[in-house]
Amino acid sequence: MFTFTPQAAQKLKQIIQERGGNLALSIAADPEVTGGAWRLTLVPRRPSTAVVSGVPVEADAEALRLLDGTIIDWVMTPDGPGLGIYDQNLVDNDPRRRGRF
């Protein structure tokens, strides 16, 4: 299982509301890329959409497997704000991939 930090959950819920409210965060992973390549997008919310930390989420089984034990945070980078995915099992907690909205 993965979680969102309170800051990330709040920001995502705010973005979803600003864009009409009937959306979910889609998380897709490419396991062929070293360290994982993540694609984070907003998609229309379906009745079967899961909710994690109050955020509606769409993710396939492979993405959920790769996300196990991670924390998604709202971060500031030189490129601007976005989401950082951190593996809490890594000692140095380096981000695997940052998605931007």
pLDDT of residue 87: 78
Condensed to tens digits (0 to 9), the pLDDT of residues 41-80 reads 999 999 989 999 999 999 988 888 888 888 999 998 888 8
Domains of the chain and CATH, by start: 3-89 (2.60.300.12)
8 A C-beta contact, residue 67 and residue 78: no
- pTM for the whole structure: 0.79
- The whole-chain average pLDDT of the chain stands at 84
Question: Is pLDDT of 91 > 60?
Answer: no
The pLDDT-based confidence of 89 (bands split at 50, 70, 90) is: low
3-state secondary structure the chain: CCEECHHHHHHHHHHHHHCCCCEEEEEEEECCCCCCEEEEEEEECCCCCEEECCEEEEECHHHHHHHCCEEEEEEEECCEEEEEEEECCCCCCCEEEEECC
- Cβ neighbours, 10 Å, residue 59: 21
Confidence of residue 101 (pLDDT cuts 50, 70, 90): very low
- What per-residue confidence (pLDDT) applies to 60? 87
Q: How far apart are the C-alpha atoms of 70 and 1, rounded to whole Å?
A: 8
